[in-house]
Amino acid sequence: MALSHVVGYPRIGTRRELKRATEAYWDGKVSREELLETARTLRLEAWTRMRDAGIALIPSNTFSLYDQVLDTTAMVGAVPARYRQPLEADVDLDTYFAMGRGAQTDGLDVTAMEMTKWFDTNYHYIVPELGPESTFRLASRKPLDEYLEARAAGIETVPVLVGPLTYLLQGKSPDAEGFDRLSLLPSLLPVYVEMLGLLRDAGAAWVQFDEPVLVEDRTPAELEALTRAYTTLAGAAGSTKLLVETYFGDVDESFFALANLPVAGIGLDLHRGQRNLEQLRKHGLPGGKFLAAGVVDGRNVWINNLEASLKLLGELGELVGPDRVIVSTSCSTMHAPIELERENRLDAEVRSWLAFANQKVDEVGTLAQALEDRNAVADALAANAAALESRRTSPRTNNAEVRARVAATTEADYRRHGNVIERRSAQRARLGLPAFPTTTIGSFPQTSELREARAALADKELTEEQYERVIEEEIERVVRLQEQLDIDVLVHGEPERNDMVEYFGERLAGFTFTRFGWVQSYGSRYVKPPIVFGDVARPEAMTVRWSTYAQSLTARPMKGMLTGPVTILNWSFVRDDQPRAETCRQIALAIRDEVVDLEAAGIKVIQIDEPALREGLPLRQSDWTGYLAWAVPCFRLSASGVRDDTQIHTHMCYADFNDIIEAISDLDADVISIENSRSDAELLEAFRDFKYDKEIGPGVYDIHSPRVPPSEEMGGRLREAMKVLDPDLVWVNPDCGLKTRRYEETVPALEHMVAAARELRAAL
């Protein structure tokens, strides 16, 4: 039977067990033992599910209590000094969580490590902090422990490690600008060798090293480092086979270095990676290597075209040898929801087009079986063909009116009337704000009462009217609080929103949403991305009711809050049967209608969040302009239907924006609030060379940490920012929305923020 393999598997549990357990542990409500017990149960469930689907190479160590890159930091003992990790001991659980989320306890007041997006996904990893002083030692045996745990349960697994090249290159060197992290390879490798030795001695048949950095632009020096690393590792592998796995696209110039590594197998993404196939056609694979052929899309929700995959696998068999092909996913399935079976409220037709992680695992199993004996899976193949045909021909994927409207847009629809200077003076006259205006990013803490009310509404224990009362009361509370705090531009707090994309997805035609389709965003924060299956339209206003209610409570300007088209696109599972740009333009027109309605209802400031603009960037720089050429105009299409004296804000966070600062400027938003504290003011670099001529609020404190910084620290951030920004254009705001925080932390933090703004005004 052909080998089957899954690159990685979701860790959060079908019922979000991991979230509950970690959060309860942080709150002191469950013990360390209870948390670890939940983790064990989740791992066993995952392995069992894959074994039952007939998967031969089942990944282990893809479980994580917080993040797999943070796990690697713990494994190699690269704990930054501020966490006061004892030099000999293994990294303990509380140090681990302190690195992930910061800590404020008796002995320790530390910020979290930086977090940023994992390639072009909406998953955030904890960025390794690496510098000339970094040293490494084996400080966690998690990969071995989990391998042995599976073995004890009778399941043979493939331990998965973040590869050394990816670990170093995905790190940052905050205190050593320009430091060549690859120079750390010689001191890092011995730790990998030690871990590999433990796995080898424990009897692991395969060990997988994830090297997704190979789908990004790589220099010859980096590729040499790759060869050095795996030559060393291969020397320590004994009879254990090494699999170097790549995903999220084409390996292009890395192909030769990768294909010639002295390892048993390599993994290629053959879903997105169309050029990968070309290279295999041209060059094959040297030395009888195994090819983990990523034919099942690991990160979207659409069923595989099984016949097409079989044909491809047949061709790959000819190229590399039939017994060398391993049927696999294109990447870890951790970016997809887990189980479709439970989605009993999805429309049956749409549902037949979908495959979540478990269904993908089954698809891999089916394909491997079909390679041996088609007849054994004839039913599955027939059902798959029927579902594909229904999707192709369904009238639900085609709305003529929407298509006509997109086709009829003209250049003028993509531009504001006045230029930024004209708009600024009109807006200043209308809004009358002080210097260094204060605002927040939109959401206020999501209290348990709110969550309970939402659940009660879903269970019909609250009527629509009762629920709306709860929301109104919450809005009123948030408005009064902001007035008390003396914030200048208020928000309604977004209490009616479960999630900034899901909320809109639920109100737009062409979208559907799941009940349990959670995907990890970072740590214990999960999102439930909507699914765009058809043409997008806005049947009715989505936010006007709440924004106007909030505005009616106060004389201060109330900011209308929307999620931008590019972010809605990038944080949804998007149909793959038309170009993404086309889907994005449809969403942009729907948001534009909302913007225009808000303005007509008397809202003077409207924020269109685009935190996901950057993550839509193709991983290779050469493809960037193509993406920005439609993404930036889509934002403008959504924002340009308003008068000059209506102030358009946007917001971005948790990514490196420095290299697309011109595109950000091209959005032509009057004001941008942008995360700046969690990433330690790295952002400001961008403004040294680039003169930003619109208003900007660089975040003055990290909202992902329960830590409350003193107002001097926030003031310091602002002073630092004003070295490169025009003080006349500076706003004062947190890094991002406050919904993951508690009021205990939020109120003092905002007090400090307003105090910092006052202090600056006084100094002016």
Tell me which of 5, 271, 492, 704 is the catalytic residue.
Answer: 704
Answer with the entry of Zn ion, ligand GLN, none that 443 interacts with (C-beta below 5 to 8 A by kind).
ligand GLN
Answer with the entry of Zn ion, ligand GLN, none that 500 interacts with (C-beta below 5 to 8 A by kind).
ligand GLN
Considering only the stretches 36-44, 628-636, 733-741, 755-763, report the one whose residues sit in contact with ligand GLN under the rule CB under 6 A: 733-741
Select from 336, 352, 350, 359 the least CA-distant residue to 387: 352
Question: Which lies closer to Zn ion via its Cβ, residue 606 or residue 653?
Answer: 653
Assess 496 for contact with ligand GLN (CB under 6 A): no
Residues in the chain: 764
* CB-CB neighbours of 52 under 10 Å: 12
Question: Which lies closer to Zn ion via its Cβ, residue 73 or residue 524?
Answer: 524
Phi, psi of 161 (to 5 degrees): -120, 145
The one among 298, 687, 737, 753 contacting ligand GLN by CB under 6 A: 737
Q: Are 306 and 380 in contact (CB under 8 A)?
A: yes
- Give the contacts of 492 (CB within 8 A, at least 6 positions apart): 475, 478, 479, 546, 547, 549, 550, 558, 561
State in angstroms the smallest separation of the CB of 116 from ligand GLN: 13
The three-class DSSP label of residue 415 is coil
Tokens of 68: 């797999």
Q: Are 538 and 511 in contact (CB under 8 A)?
A: no
State in angstroms the smallest separation of the CB of 647 from ligand GLN: 16
Considering only the stretches 280-288, 346-354, 515-523, 731-739, report the one whose residues sit in contact with ligand GLN under the rule CB under 6 A: 731-739
Are β-strands 573-574 and 559-563 bridged in parallel, bridged antiparallel, or unpaired?
unpaired
Considering only the stretches 465-473, 528-536, 594-602, 735-743, report the one whose residues sit in contact with ligand GLN under the rule CB under 6 A: 735-743
Between the CA of residue 366 and those of 205, 315, 327, 333, 361, what are the distances in Å? 23, 18, 10, 17, 9
The one among 101, 172, 717, 739 contacting ligand GLN by CB under 6 A: 739
Q: Which of residues 553-592 bind ligand GLN (CB under 6 A)?
A: 561
The one among 671, 736, 749, 756 contacting ligand GLN by CB under 6 A: 736
Assess 442 for contact with ligand GLN (CB under 6 A): yes
User: Residues 645-684: x/- map of binding to ligand GLN (CB under 6 A)?
Assistant: ------x-x-------------------------------
Between the CA of residue 707 and those of 109, 738, 745, what are the distances in Å? 8, 13, 7
Assess 116 for contact with ligand GLN (CB under 6 A): no
Considering only the stretches 441-449, 527-535, 585-593, 633-641, report the one whose residues sit in contact with ligand GLN under the rule CB under 6 A: 441-449
Q: Are 265 and 292 in contact (CB under 8 A)?
A: yes
The one among 441, 479, 603, 628 contacting ligand GLN by CB under 6 A: 441
Tokens of 689: 């060379």
Q: Are 120 and 107 in contact (CB under 8 A)?
A: no
Q: Are 239 and 286 in contact (CB under 8 A)?
A: no
User: Residues 326-365: x/- map of binding to Zn ion (CB under 5 A)?
Assistant: ----------------------------------------
Does residue 388 come out as left (phi exceeding 0), alpha (psi in the -120 to 50 range) or beta? alpha
Q: Are 54 and 368 in contact (CB under 8 A)?
A: yes
**CB-based burial, 647-662: b 16+ in 10 Å, e otherwise:** bbbbbbbbbebbebbe
How far is the first Cα of the chain from the last one, in angstroms, to the nearest whole number?
75
State in angstroms the smallest separation of the CB of 22 from ligand GLN: 20
State in angstroms the smallest separation of the CB of 737 from ligand GLN: 2
CA 299/CA 613 separation, integer angstroms: 19
State in angstroms the smallest separation of the CB of 673 from ligand GLN: 9
Assess 443 for contact with ligand GLN (CB under 6 A): yes
Q: Which of residues 604-623 bind ligand GLN (CB under 6 A)?
A: 609, 611
**CB-based burial, 145-181: b 16+ in 10 Å, e otherwise:** ebbbbbeeeebbbbbbbbbbbbbbbbbbbbeeeebeb
* CB-CB neighbours of 502 under 10 Å: 22
Concerning whether 704 is annotated as a catalytic residue, the answer is: yes
Considering only the stretches 22-30, 43-51, 208-216, 646-654, report the one whose residues sit in contact with Zn ion under the rule CB under 5 A: 646-654
State in angstroms the smallest separation of the CB of 611 from Zn ion: 5
The DSSP result for 89-140, as a single string, is: SPPPHHHHHHHHH-EE-SS-EEPPPPEEE-TTSS-EEEPPB--TT-------
Question: Which lies closer to ligand GLN via its Cβ, residue 363 or residue 735?
Answer: 735
The one among 188, 500, 501, 536 contacting ligand GLN by CB under 6 A: 500
Assess 736 for contact with Zn ion (CB under 5 A): yes
The one among 611, 698, 706, 709 contacting Zn ion by CB under 5 A: 611
State in angstroms the smallest separation of the CB of 440 from ligand GLN: 7
**CB-based burial, 258-276: b 16+ in 10 Å, e otherwise:** bbebebbbbbbbbbbbeeb
Question: Which lies closer to ligand GLN via its Cβ, residue 298 or residue 737?
Answer: 737
State in angstroms the smallest separation of the CB of 652 from Zn ion: 7
Residues at the site binding Zn ion, with contacts judged by CB under 5 A:
611, 653, 736
Residues at the site binding ligand GLN, with contacts judged by CB under 6 A:
441-443, 494, 500, 561, 609, 611, 651, 653, 736-737, 739
Residues designated catalytic:
704
